Amino acid sequence: MNRDDLIQKLIELAAKRFGRDASALKADDDFFEKLGIDSFQAMELMTDLEEEFDVEIPDYELQGVNTFLKLADVIEPRL
């Protein structure tokens, strides 16, 4: 999976989880703001992503991650 496909998949999964339009989301969007979610909901999303991509991401690596682009930076090396 190339980087652009990964980012698009992250956006689609997040949009589906929170009932948003994926076409309204961009790679550098702050997903807390754009999705209207809190940190608990973000952790639920991370659980979905870990299952989807069959990866495990330690919580400490997610500190400061708030865009789909940064999220791809964390997930991509594990694929």
Q: Locate tokens 């698009």: which residue?
A: 8
Residue 75 pLDDT level (bands cut at 50, 70, 90)? very high
Q: How confident is the model at residue 28 (pLDDT cuts 50, 70, 90)?
A: very high
CATH architecture of the domain covering 3-78: Orthogonal Bundle (1.10)
Helix (H, G, I), strand (E, B) or coil at 38: coil
Burial code of 4-42, b = ≥16 C-beta within 10 A, e = fewer? eebbbbbbebbbebeebeeeebebebebeebbebeeeeb
Report the pLDDT averaged over residues 33-44: 95
pLDDT for residue 15: 97
Report pTM: 0.94
3-state secondary structure of 30: strand
Domain residue ranges in the chain: 3-78
What pLDDT is attached to residue 55?
97
Cα–Cα distance, 77 to 67 (Å, whole number): 17
Residue 64: per-residue pLDDT? 94
